[in-house]
Amino acid sequence: MATIHDVAREAGVSIATVSRVLQGSSKVLPETQERINDAIRRLNYRPNRLAQQFRSQETKNILVIVPEIGNTFYSDILAGIKSVAIKNGYSILIVDSNSDPAAERHFYEMLVQKQVDGIIAFSTALPTAELQSYAAQYPVVIGCRYVSDETLPNVTIDNEKASSDITNYILSLGHKKICYLAGPADTHVYRARLNGFLDAVRSRGVDVPRNRIVRCEANIQGGYDAVANLLNSREKFTAIVASGDTMAVGAIRALNNFGYHVPDDVAVVGFDDIELSRLFSPSLTTVRQPKYLIGSRSMEIMLDLIAGKPLLSYRTVLDYELVIRESSGSFV
């Protein structure tokens, strides 16, 4: 592989001058410039980025951590990140944490070891304190996850209010016997959504006994198991509010397997508006997060962080949207 020295020799100049044309410096005679560019072409020279990065101690790479890479929810976010990144000369690298703390720690170590210039994370398997200590020293943006205190830059929607809204929609259809699939208790987002749900039912004076609020894994299987259990225990209900679309899909699958029809027998709503929600049959009524915007905004904040600009606010709250589809029906 040709180096800058080879180019310098070929063009009959010093490496300093070659470096100058590489950087687009104007202080090089057009004719020398041409001679150097010729040499570069002849030798098929490419700067060794490893050396450049070492020299500058920056990679122009941003690491994006997602909890599960096959989830289309994140593809849209990634597209948003990418659009801003490319415009600013950054590449994004994607990794999958599977919500595993050890894996996640490994990724943050990449930051410490200068492998990437910053991290945008949609997974927070690490204790908040640890996250904070990384964020205090390096550019870190958290997306779609609240953290208990506000010293971490984060980009979300108002999960509590959105959850209230969709619950109110179900209530407005006349449902009184409602089950809630709550997701894992250790994730702040799911706690917020649960709170929003509880606010809504309480303010309407609808009683939801404890056994109708079910903790479950935030995936299809989790939703399936939760609803299968409810049905096995002969619980009666006309609607299910799920704290995520994957759980909602699992719930519908379970209902179908037990011979119930959605939405005629039971109405189901989800949260997030993943791709499957539109394609599934029945299509899901859900809360649409502004995924692309979440991505682009996160990357913008990342750029500010890298540039050392002071943040206007640690918390960025974006708008959401209720998407009414088939699964909620029109109860009367």
Partner DNA sequence: TTGTATGCGTTATCAA
Partner DNA sequence: TTGATAACGCATACAA
Q: Is 75 in the site for DNA (CB under 7 A)?
A: no
Contact residues for 272 (Cβ-Cβ < 8 A; gap 6+): 73, 244, 245, 286, 287, 288, 289
Separation in Å, CA 101 to CA 93, 98, 112, 130, 136: 19, 9, 16, 11, 19
Q: Is 99 in the site for DNA (CB under 7 A)?
A: no
d(CA 115, CA 58): 8
From 211, 206, 130, select the one nearest 171 (Cα to Cα): 206
Q: Is 294 in the site for its own copies (CB under 8 A)?
A: no
Nearest approach, Cβ of 112 to DNA (angstroms)? 11
Nearest approach, Cβ of 322 to its own copies (angstroms)? 23
The tokens 């908040």 sit on which residue?
A: 128
Q: 248 near 286, Cβ under 8 Å?
A: yes
Q: Which stretch binds its own copies (CB under 8 A): 30-38, 71-79, 181-189, 308-316?
A: 71-79
Q: Is 53 in the site for its own copies (CB under 8 A)?
A: yes
Q: Is 332 in the site for DNA (CB under 7 A)?
A: no
Q: Is 54 in the site for DNA (CB under 7 A)?
A: yes
Q: Is 5 in the site for DNA (CB under 7 A)?
A: yes
Report the partner that residue 279 touches, choosing among its own copies, DNA, none (CB closer than 5 to 8 A by kind). Answer: its own copies
Torsion of CA 228, 232, 236, 242, to 10 degrees: -20
Residue type, 324: I
Binding region for DNA (CB under 7 A) = 1, 3-5, 12-17, 19-20, 22-23, 27-29, 31-33, 47-48, 51-52, 54-57
The residues of the shown chain that bind its own copies, judged by CB under 8 A, are: 46-51, 53-54, 57, 59, 68-72, 74-76, 78, 82, 91-96, 109-110, 112-115, 220, 249, 253, 256, 275-276, 279-281
